[in-house]
Amino acid sequence: SAVISQKPSRDICQRGTSLTIQCQVDSQVTMMFWYRQQPGQSLTLIATANQGSEATYESGFVIDKFPISRPNLTFSTLTVSNMSPEDSSIYLCSVRTPGEQYFGPGTRLTVT
């Protein structure tokens, strides 16, 4: 199994600023993912972050807006840059083990 923690759990930010979300896993994992869950909607994959390589972004998401770091096998960060109210969402970190995919508790972001 894998236990995932995220910081911060929630934040309220002003338009035009940036927020970095941290994801810590209690075991070493190769595949780590970042998802966005907009209000009342399902989860959308932002990017896949594998240690030792550049993050792979899904259609509609770009590195300039959502830069990701993956310095080791237990940690990753997602930055939401130049925020607008449309970025208000829950951002979830996720990891895949051979048997299952686990999700963090999420970071609830409100942009005013």
Partner 1 sequence: AQSVTQLGSHVSVSEGALVLLRCNYSSSVPPYLFWYVQYPNQGLQLLLKYTTGATLVKGINGFEAEFKKSETSFHLTKPSAHMSDAAEYFCAVSAAAGSARQLTFGSGTQLTVLP
19-58 footprint of partner 1 as x/- string (CB under 8 A): ----------------------xxxxx--x----------
Phi/psi at 85 (nearest 5 deg)? Answer: -55, -25
Cis preceding linkage at 105, omega within 30: no
CB of 9 to partner 1, least distance (A): 8
100 binds partner 1 (CB under 8 A): yes
97 binds partner 1 (CB under 8 A): no
Tokens found for residue 65? 């807006």
CB of 110 to partner 1, least distance (A): 14
CA distances from 67 to 17, 44, 55 (A): 14, 16, 9
Applying CB under 8 A, the site for partner 1 has a residue count of 17
Report the 10 Å Cβ neighbour count for 4: 21
CB of 28 to partner 1, least distance (A): 19
The answer to whether the CB of 83 falls within 8 A of the CB of 17 is yes
Residues found near partner 1 in the complex (CB under 8 A): 4, 41-45, 48, 92, 96, 100-106, 108
